[in-house]
Amino acid sequence: MFPIGQVKRILSHPNGLTLFRVAASPIIVVLLLFPSRLTTFLAALFFSAAAITDFLDGFFARQKGLVSNFGKVMDPIADKVLVSTSFIMLTALGWIPAWMVCIIIGREISVTGLRNIIAQRCQDLSASSLGKYKTGFQIAAIIPLTLHFPYFGIDFHAIGILFLWVALLLTIWSGADYFIRFRSLLRA
């Protein structure tokens, strides 16, 4: 086992937080392979902790001057791995429609491709505010969808589906925005 001090140091370093998101993904998959009130609650807890690291890694990188090429590349990949694996597992369980997940993941892959093309031209196609809202609603959808079961009389699945519809609309809108911005950058 790792000493507590070493774990704290890893989890306070931006790249450690990014890698935590990647490491959390298979844990969430395994927990959702055996859906029960306990395993779905733990999966939602792991997902929530991993989602919080998405904010913290950028915050620590800027605050401590630890922005790195590794972080610039791995941060969006870690986000996509976490979100995509969670959505795929929720689809496999039959808790969300596959067509919605196909659109969401297809958009993520397409935008990543656009960013790579633009990066090769030494230009930047940073996340827009639409993209950030999209991510927020995807996270807001995945947490209650992963909980799935009602707790305290609250239908978390229905709440998750509502957020998923908003996330889908923002996914399409922000994807179209990226393609428009991409076209403008290519013309410049």
- Token reading at 38: 């306990």
List, for residues 144-168, the tens digit of each pLDDT value. Answer: 999 999 989 999 999 999 999 999 9
Please check whether residue 56 is in contact with residue 18, taking contact to mean a CB–CB distance below 8 angstroms: no
Question: Is pLDDT at 180 greater than 80 in this prediction?
Answer: yes
Give 3-state DSSP helix, strand, coil % of the chain, rounded to 5: 80, 0, 15
Percent of the chain with pLDDT over 70: 79
State which fold the 4-187 domain adopts. Four Helix Bundle (Hemerythrin (Met), subunit A) (1.20.120)
Task: Please choose, from the candidates 13, 9, 15, 17, the residue with its C-alpha nearest in 3D space to the C-alpha of residue 50.
Answer: 17
Which is more confident, 51 or 17? 51
Supply the pLDDT for residue 17: 80
**pLDDT at residue number 178:** 84
CA dihedral 167, 101, 72, 58 (to 10 degrees): 40
Q: Where are the domains of the chain?
A: 4-187
Residue 26: its pLDDT value, please?
Answer: 96
Q: Mean pLDDT throughout 120-134?
A: 75
